[in-house]
């Protein structure tokens, strides 16, 4: 036969005959997978054709719903001199090889947790026992593993040895891989600077831990919780509270994702109140004002009178030495004194004071400068002035 030509009927028959001869002499072993045709279905067993002159037996219950003439995939379970038994279920050898392939290709396998054992749990994978350490059962800390018994999960095969008699699994590896994929997609859609939603998971003195995705959380330092000073995160937040945060920084430290968050930057900064204009208290005072003050210091040359906190004037000795009604040595500190402003020097922060003038003395002076008083008026004015001095 030349290239490109179809095989002749004789050649086609020869190939089929060769395949038939190979099938007739094939040696089967437990664990072999075969494609067999159903010959007959009995009450207990079904007979299947394995090749020319070769037959095998399968439990009829396993082929319920099928009819003679149909083909089915089977696994060899035992080989005896006069009988080859098969099953639709894989053997331990098949399962072991499947687990080996899953280990080499990192393909996840399904398993059911059947019991708690020392250091972890026992997992049934297609009827074969495997071991999952407690630390590898979940992404979070697991205390006993009892809550996982009876539940089915996907696992990663992390160890396959002793021809499949020792198989170690990890669910945590799959969860972390899934979390990494979810986090990568999340941060691609939410880069640094975005405001996102989160849930407070833990409070410490130095800040609050906030979860953005299952298993993905960041830290909002206490200085980033509010625009005002915060004494303790517990004063502002509580575990389980939903918050809006701003993504400040995302980095990988020692192989782990580290997120820096901010609650305060997720909101606009409150405007500072407009400061009240500063008023110089010294500008309120002017010569001629009569007011009261407090005696705060006594000196040989005069008395210092406080008009208000921070504003002190000097009542010089020359301003009261001829006033019998003001005896400085007998005055007590803190005593209220009536004074009159004589001079204000703003640049020097000095105020000169005097005792208020005697209105009767002014009246007498004004009378002297005008027309002569009537007889006896001068004597009466002098007498009143002398009485006031006593």
246-299 per-position pLDDT tens digit: 999 988 888 788 999 999 898 888 777 777 777 888 888 999 999 999 999 989
* pLDDT score, position 364: 47
Looking at 61-75, 113-127, 316-330, 361-375, which range is the least confident one?
A: 361-375
* pLDDT score, position 200: 94
* Encoded tokens for 313: 């004037």
**216 and 143 in a common domain:** no
Q: Which domain holds residue 327?
A: 284-359
| Per-residue pLDDT tens digits for 27-50 | 887 778 888 899 999 888 899 998
Rounded to two decimals, the pTM is 0.45
* pLDDT score, position 9: 58
| Per-residue pLDDT tens digits for 65-104 | 898 999 998 888 888 878 888 888 777 777 777 888 888 8
* pLDDT score, position 32: 82
| Residue 367, in any domain of the structure | no
* pLDDT score, position 314: 92
How many domains does one find in the chain?
A: 4
**What's the CATH code of the domain at 333?**
2.40.50.140
What is the Cβ-side half-sphere exposure of residue 103, based on CA atoms within 13 angstroms? 18
| Residue 372, in any domain of the structure | no
Let me know: does 114 contact 146? Beta carbons within 8 Å: no
Residue 373 has pLDDT above 60, yes or no: no
* pLDDT score, position 152: 93
Residue 166 has pLDDT above 80, yes or no: yes
* pLDDT score, position 358: 65
Contacts of residue 266, defined as CB under 8 A and 6 or more positions apart, other chains included, come to 195, 243, 244, 245, 246
| Residue 145, in any domain of the structure | yes
| Residue 2, in any domain of the structure | no
| Per-residue pLDDT tens digits for 191-242 | 999 999 999 999 999 999 999 988 889 999 999 999 888 889 998 999 999 9
Write the DSSP symbol of residue 91.
Answer: P
**288 and 257 in a common domain:** no
* pLDDT score, position 165: 78
Res. 16 pLDDT band, cuts 50 70 90: very low
**348 and 291 in a common domain:** yes
| Per-residue pLDDT tens digits for 97-155 | 788 888 888 889 899 999 999 999 999 988 788 999 999 999 888 888 999 999 999 99
| Residue 23, in any domain of the structure | no
* pLDDT score, position 204: 93
Residue 21 has pLDDT above 60, yes or no: no
Question: Between 93 and 190, where is the model more confident?
Answer: 190
* pLDDT score, position 380: 61
Let me know: does 106 contact 80? Beta carbons within 8 Å: no
| Residue 382, in any domain of the structure | no
* pLDDT score, position 136: 93
**226 and 203 in a common domain:** yes
Q: Which of 88, 152, 163 has the alpha carbon at shortest distance from 125? A: 152
If DSSP codes are grouped into helix, strand and coil, which group holds residue 133?
Answer: strand
**153 and 105 in a common domain:** yes
Mean pLDDT of 316-325: 86
Task: Count the neighbouring beta carbons within 10 Å of the beta carbon of residue 84.
Answer: 23
Residue 307 has pLDDT above 50, yes or no: yes
* pLDDT score, position 259: 92
């Amino acid at each position: 036969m030349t290239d490109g030509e179809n095989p002749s009927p004789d050649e086609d028959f020869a190939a089929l005959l060769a395949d038939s001869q190979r099938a007739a002499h094939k040696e089967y072993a437990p664990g072999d997978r075969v494609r067999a045709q159903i010959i007959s279905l009995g009450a207990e067993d079904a007979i299947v054709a394995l090749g020319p002159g070769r037959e095998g037996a399968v439990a009829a219950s396993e082929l319920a719903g099928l009819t003679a003439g149909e083909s089915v995939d089977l696994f060899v379970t035992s080989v005896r001199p006069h009988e080859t038994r098969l099953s639709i279920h894989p053997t331990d050898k098949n399962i072991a090889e499947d687990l080996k392939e899953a280990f080499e290709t990192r393909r996840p396998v399904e398993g059911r947790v059947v019991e708690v054992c020392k250091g972890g749990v026992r997992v049934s994978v297609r009827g074969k026992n495997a071991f999952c350490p407690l630390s590898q059962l979940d992404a979070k800390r697991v205390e006993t593993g009892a809550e996982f018994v009876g539940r089915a999960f996907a696992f990663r095969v992390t160890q396959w040895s002793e021809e499949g008699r020792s198989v170690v699994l990890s669910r945590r590896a799959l969860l972390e891989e899934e979390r990494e994929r979810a986090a990568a997609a999340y941060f691609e859609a939410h880069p640094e600077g975005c405001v996102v939603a989160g849930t407070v998971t833990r409070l410490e003195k130095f800040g609050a831990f906030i979860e953005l995705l299952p298993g993905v959380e960041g830290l909002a330092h206490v200085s980033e919780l509010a625009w005002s000073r915060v004494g303790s995160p517990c004063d502002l937040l509580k575990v389980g509270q939903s918050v809006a945060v701003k993504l400040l920084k995302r980095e990988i430290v020692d192989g782990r994702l580290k997120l820096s968050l901010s609650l305060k930057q997720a909101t606009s900064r409150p405007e500072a109140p407009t400061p009240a204009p500063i008023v110089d208290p010294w500008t309120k005072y002017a010569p001629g004002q009569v007011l009261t003050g407090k005696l705060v210091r006594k000196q040989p040359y005069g008395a210092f009178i406080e008009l208000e906190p921070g504003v002190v004037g000097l009542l010089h000795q020359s301003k009261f030495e001829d006033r019998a009604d003001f005896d400085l040595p007998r005055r007590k500190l803190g005593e209220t004194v009536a004074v009159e402003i004589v001079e204000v020097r703003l640049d020097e922060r000095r105020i000169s004071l005097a005792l208020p003038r005697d209105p009767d003395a002014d009246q007498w002076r004004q009378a002297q400068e005008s027309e002569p008083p009537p007889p006896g008026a001068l004597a009466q004015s002098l007498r009143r002035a002398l009485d006031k001095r006593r």
